A and B are shown apart, each in its own frame.
Chain A
Amino acid sequence: MGIVEAKNVTFEYVKRDEEGNAEGFIRALDGVSLSIKRGEFIAVLGGNGSGKSTFAKHINAILYPGEGMVIVDGKDTKKPENLWDIRQEAGMIFQNPDNQIIGNVVEEDVGFGPENMGIPTKEIWERVNEALKAVGMYAYRKHSPNKLSGGQKQRVAIAGVMAMHPKCIIMDEPTAMLDPMGRKEVIRQVRALNDVEKITIILITHYMEEVIYADRVYVMDKGRVAMQGTPREIFSEVDRLRELRLDVPQSTILSHELNKAGFQLPEGILRREEFVHELVKYVGGRFYGGSLESVKEPKEASDYTKPGMTERDPRESLILDKVTYTYEKGSGNEIRALDNVSVQIGKGEFIGLIGHTGSGKSTFVQHLNGLLKPTSGQVYFRGEDISDKKYRKINLRSHVGLVFQYPEHQLFEETVFKDVCFGPKNVGMDDKQTELSAYEALRSVHLPEEYYFSSPFELSGGQKRKVAIAGVLAMKPDILILDEPTAGLDPKGRDEILELMRDLHENKGITVILVSHSMEDVANYVKRILVMDKGRIIMDGDPKHIFMRYKELENIGLSAPEVCYLMRALRDRGFDIDPSVTTIDAAVYEILRITGQGA
């Protein structure tokens, strides 16, 4: 028998109205059956609301099935006497790294579980040290969790579960709130635990690149298991996955698209090397093979001109002139968050801002609407110095809208509509104008009208975010800055937000600045990229040119979209391919061109 057996599990939430009376049921799980073997690495995929988190909570008896049963290591989760055994055997890691660390010191947090289990002091220490070593956090054992990065916090949380000597670990979107480096760090750790310690892993996620290592994948939709199989089997059904609004790795999607154009590559290709191998094998004889001399080398960094940006009118621009910003000035431990940054942001641009965590992106964007004042240097908006005493800040705020990370956390009013009115009212619109622009803003984010007068706290995560964005849009900004607007959203929510950005840019002429960790999103949407590192803007150009410098990007903890690496790999095999391709569509076109099939 497997370590986790779910038989026909059904679970319903009671939906309540404002007075707390039961209105009806929401079926979160609808007849889920699955069986997980000892030592397996299982991935559970699904969009928001698919029931995947609800299912996870059944495995360690935080929730009990309404109908059906869940058996963990031979024990029924419904029986109260099994509760503590099950929670010890099936450890759980949650999404938010901050909200699951109890201790004020790393080692104390790891010891929390064993303390609860009543383990003798000496053994607690052994377990804690062993667990911290297993996740590579032993050197940090005396640190405060608040000083750690997101990835490190999640590793501490994993150590906390490991110290309880579990047989399986369930991870509920453990990487959703992390940056790409933190994500890799955690996944590497999880795979090591599975390989070395033989712990069964159940990883719930919506990031595809994390799934390809799994032994088996379950895809959930509307409370049911919609698909199951090996990663290869799952990813062979690209169309079905798209229907479920899930992502597919770029190698998989590229081979799928090529097949649509008449190629015969195997479906379900997961990795870069595999793709290159299969393509070379398939194209083989038909390969027109330009010699390497004919391959255009990418231009050197110095000689590219900033494309299409020579015409920026300074009277319409936001200009940073030699801006430096220092945190904690004069305290001895100064941090220079911005270091002599000069940049011009013209009217109607669509800009991506990338850089690893701590590179100064947030400090940079807060200068653009005057939330932070430069320690030295000037910021000009339409020719006026915004740190001038006579300059009206409120004027700037209405022209430059800034949407912070997780903006839904700033909602506060009774109704969605009132909340959206907050901004326009503050910048001095009269009642009629306020309501008009609030209405317009809500329409432009495509929030269904039935929600306008309900409480913002009743909406789903993606909807809340749209409301928060509308709250800034209602101020009618000319420039809209979004700090990681897609963080924590599932692929469907992400695409909706990004499409919204494109729409605002193209149809309303709004200048958009998108701060993002996702190179794919940046490549697909923006026209100009600013790369930040250590408080400086070290690159500024269009996506093609920026991503050609992928080696430099890697040196500062970034990367290029996967498709850029695919193109590179093909070029290394002698294909006369344009290495500056950054999107799937362009890659398909390019491969068809060089193989002579597109003509």
Chain B
Amino acid sequence: MLREITLGQYYSTESKIHSLDPRTKITGTFIFIISLFLFRSVVTTITAAFFLAFVISLSRVPLGFILRGMKSIVFILLITVVFNLFLTPGIPLFSFHGLVISDEGLKVAAFTAVRLIFLIIGSSIMTLTTTPNNLTDGLEALMNPLKVFRVPVHEVAMMMSIALRFIPILMEETDKIMKAQEARGADFESGNVIERAKALVPVLVPLFVSAFRRANDLAMAMEARCYRGGEGRTKMKPLVYKRIDLAAYFVLVLYLALMILAGIFAP
């Protein structure tokens, strides 16, 4: 079940977007998301749509693959739309059984849906084109100034990258434990919610025990390889801005300028 979720999973290919520095991509995504929230007119939405289409075409990730990933959020999207549709006050357009749809509600619901879709596609472009490691490196580099405020930036990044490494291992382990308990007659499929939750205890306890054992082993292995925190560590793959990043930042500025202009002159 978990394996079917493709939202934001790295898509391996070579493209201009793939070759960008992770810092560029994180910054870009951030600016794109902010621009979506600052401007809410038809013109700005169309501008954003063009920008997104441009980035997707550069990324060489098939549109089908991106949209398939969206399946998992259809439910959230529907809820948002329904709430906005019925709960926004304004001039009533339709009404049945006491539920009222207003003109304002229709507008808000449509905009919210579009913005939400843009937001998710925009940020999944980042994760689709950046390996998890690269992403962690980028985050670490971008958050580095926070070290002044004693934020353990390196440690957090290290934890994220270890988590990424162990997710598939622990998923496999969950599968194994579930099967082992099923072989002992455990039943995960019938019963009500409470019974089902209870049935998970024999899976969760061994899973936690194993996670702690692995954590312990890993900590020892890291120490044995001279790990002592971020101090004095060098990088095998240091992040270096290239020419293409400069171009990307230029495009970003251009996009932002367009949005601001559109926001001012066509509100």
Contacts and interface: CB of A to CB of B under 8 A. Distances in A.
Contacts of A472: 183-184
Given A104-B132, A111-B236, A118-B232, A371 B179 contact: yes
A55 B173 CA distance: 30
B226 A87 contact: yes
B169 A146 contact: yes
Interface string A408-422: 011110000000001
Chain A interface bracket (under 10, 10 to 19, 20 to 34, 35 or more): 35 or more
Given A108-B237, A118-B233, A411-B206, A98 B226 contact: no
Contacts of B238: 121
Given A104-B165, A398-B185, A410-B180, A92 B224 contact: yes
A369 interface: yes
B220 A87 contact: no
A128 B236 contact: yes
B177 interface: yes
Contact of B184 (A119, A146, A423): A423
A184 to B, nearest CB: 24
B183 A369 contact: yes
A447 interface: no
A369 to B, nearest CB: 6
Given A62-B220, A87-B223, A124 B209 contact: no
A499 to B, nearest CB: 23
A320 B222 CA distance: 47
Given A102-B221, A103-B165, A422 B226 contact: no
The CB with the most chain A CB atoms within 10 A, among B168, B182, B238, is that of B182
A164 interface: yes
B169 A410 contact: no
Contact of A407 (B161, B180, B201, B222): B180
Contacts of B233: 115-116, 118
A404 B180 contact: yes
B14 to A, nearest CB: 13
B225 A98 contact: no
Nearest to B225: A113
A585 B161 CA distance: 54
A269 B209 CA distance: 44
A551 to B, nearest CB: 35
A161 interface: yes
Interface string A459-490: 00000000000011001000000000000000
A402 B182 CA distance: 10
B187 interface: yes
B220 A94 contact: yes
Interface string A386-400: 000000001001100
B184 A471 contact: yes
Given A100-B218, A411-B206, A404 B183 contact: yes
B133 interface: yes
Given A404-B180, A410-B206, A394 B224 contact: no
Contacts of B221: 92, 94, 99-100, 102
The CB with the most chain A CB atoms within 10 A, among B168, B185, B217, B218, is that of B185
B218 A99 contact: yes
Contacts of A115: 233-236
Given A120-B234, A121-B237, 18 more contacts: A60-B224, A94-B220, A98-B214, A99-B213, A100-B217, A100-B218, A102-B221, A102-B225, A104-B132, A105-B133, A112-B222, A116-B227, A397-B182, A409-B177, A409-B209, A410-B181, A412-B206, A425-B185
6 contacts: A107-B236, A116-B228, A118-B232, A121-B237, A366-B179, A412-B209
Interface of B: 131-133, 161-162, 164-165, 168-169, 173, 176-177, 179-187, 201-202, 205-206, 209-210, 213-214, 217-218, 220-228, 232-238
